[in-house]
Structure 1
């Protein structure tokens, strides 16, 4: 047993809806600040862009924090949500030549009535709330289609 007896059960029965917008959060192994390194963070950003180019996900907003990723995306038509996230995590780990991620991820299927620009602002403001920068423009590892 991996110490998380309910982790698999949480994924069971979930449905990936193509075109649905999801807010994904995934964390590095032991919360190691891998993405404090500029090149490592940019490798993750490049992987998100590649997933978009392949049609797996349409990125609406993201922020790469030192030890985790927040990703607001619309799921593409050709893969399940779990497969897309697993792919992004795997490709990034291979690019960096090391194990990076805790197993699993948290997802929130965004409801139609939720304000996407507010979610994007919340995501982008993570470095400010964490005290990493004083101005959002000083943090290089985020983007949002509205901001």
Structure 2
């Protein structure tokens, strides 16, 4: 059986970003809530996405573009503008309970942090035999989690932005970097003074 650092590459597909799909890979994923970014930021991200569609996804240029995309996205999200359902305690707790129990289509989570208008996840090794398996697992997670949190806060309507950012984690050193990032994100965003004081994480 493959381990998370020796995964079987299945391919790359594109929506607003290219997504690398491997069997038994660990992923760092950012999901953002619908309406959480200003138009100017979305336009900047769209320009980067258009560039990524035209270049080799394994190239240094693509890696640099991904880093730039993530940096712009995070800077905007950390301002906590727009739809911020996780500032509602009931919404944040509902999301925590959902993540703690979630294990479906091979998708479960080892680490996560809930921010006011977005969610950072690090998956357990995700077993999938095709790109379609990968897309289905995430589509169902988003649909189910949206229903759970909407119900908790007495809301209806679209919850998540249609696309998401994901990064296939290549090795233990990169894995640790993502865990450190998740731990420090609430401090960087000004939500707490010490990482260990932030309640909505695992």
TM-score normalised according to structure 1 size: 0.78
Shift of 1:129: 0.3
Q: Structure 1 residues 55, 124: CA separation in 2 closer, same or farther (over 3 Å shift)? A: farther
Count of aligned pairs between the two proteins: 134
Match of 1:29 among 34, 37, 41: 34
Structure with max Cα Rg: 2
Aligned-residue RMSD, C-alpha: 2.2
| Residue 124 (structure 2) pairs with residue 74 (structure 1) | yes
Quote the residue 1:18 is aligned against: 23
Partner of 2:189: 130
Change (3 A) 1:80 1:124: farther
In the aligned structure 2, how far is the partner of 1:61 from the partner of 1:120? 7
Task: Return 5+ residue gaps in structure 2 as ranges.
Answer: 1-13, 37-82
> What's the CA shift for 1:15?
5.1
Matches within 5 A, 1:112-127: 112=171, 114-127=173-186
CA distance in 2, matches of 1:115, 1:28: 26
Structure 1 gaps of 5+ residues are 1-6
| Inter-partner Cα distance in structure 2 for 1:88 and 1:47 | 10
Instruction: Name the CA distance, whole Å, in 2 between partners of 1:39 and 1:134.
Output: 23
- Distance in 2, matches of 1:119 and 1:9, equals 22
Q: 2:119, 2:92 → 1: CA distance?
A: 10
* Alignment map for 1:1-147 (pairs within 5 Å): 8=15, 10-11=17-18, 14=19, 16-31=21-36, 32-52=83-103, 54=104, 56-77=106-127, 80-95=133-148, 96-97=150-151, 98=156, 99-112=158-171, 114-143=173-202
Distance 2:108 2:159 in 1: 23
Structure 1 residues 135, 10: closer, same or farther in 2, change over 3 A?
closer
Whether contact under 8 Å (1:17, 1:75) holds in the other structure is: no
2:92 and 2:138 map into 1 onto residues whose CA distance is: 16
